[in-house]
Amino acid sequence: MAENHNGCFGEATAEIAVMLQSGDNEGAARRSGELLAECDNRLRKLYNEKVPAGDAVAEFIEAAVLHVHSLRRAYAYVDAFSCAVGALLTIEVYQVATAVDADRKTRLYHDAIRSAIDCFDSAGDATDLTVEEHRGYILSYLASLLYHYYRQAVADGSESSVLAEIYSFLKAISQSGAIQSPTIKLGENDVDPSNPGPLLVDVMGRAAALGIYQ
């Protein structure tokens, strides 16, 4: 693919969808990874040239969601988590987060926290207090951010079919007290979830300490 936009992008996503439908999860993970890299390169180029990102941002997030989904289907939970968090931080670093609608952010935050839970389940029960603490903060920050963008997506009138699943997930996790709103405590500071960069960096650091961020 010379350019990963317009028809070419649609052809690539259709190709990946066929792979997933046929059960070729590893092939879908490889192809979606290639597509995400292409989208990342295009977004970086536009950012460096100070050119409006336009549809490049939306395509980058769509490719990230598709890649994370493919990785989870292939049981590559660590890679899925790393991709989701990395993509969310990328749009903050490139200063294009405001160009991403709440619906897309909600889907990616949902993927991030589900991938984190997959990683924790695969690793088994926490072996010491430090591991338990890292896991608790990761879940709290991601759940709180998911809640923020879920509410925004609903307020924006999103009709995404995944919102019902996310509502059920948030309702279940809210009983643990993990969700913080309207601000999220990071050390001694209250962080506005609309500017989640510091929280995502903290999540990455804690995840790296647990060996689940690459």
Structure confidence at residue 183 (pLDDT) = 97
Cβ-based neighbour number of residue 87 at 10 Å: 22
Distances (CA, A) of 56 to 75, 94, 184, 209: 28, 12, 30, 32
Structure confidence at residue 3 (pLDDT) = 45
Per-residue pLDDT tens over the stretch 70-84: 999 999 999 999 999
Distances (CA, A) of 69 to 74, 141, 180, 207: 9, 21, 26, 19
Q: Which residues contact 48 (CB under 8 A, 6 or more apart)?
A: none
Distances (CA, A) of 151 to 9, 48, 103: 29, 33, 10
Which portions of the chain are predicted below pLDDT 50?
Answer: 1-4
User: Using an 8 Å Cβ cutoff, are 178 and 144 in contact?
Assistant: yes
Structure confidence at residue 214 (pLDDT) = 82
Closest CA to 64 of 95, 100, 19: 100
Per-residue pLDDT tens over the stretch 170-208: 999 998 899 999 999 999 999 999 999 999 999 999 999
Residue 192: DSSP 8-state: P
Rounded distance between C-alpha atoms, residue 117 and residue 81, angstroms: 9
User: Using an 8 Å Cβ cutoff, are 35 and 67 in contact?
Assistant: yes
User: Using an 8 Å Cβ cutoff, are 191 and 126 in contact?
Assistant: no
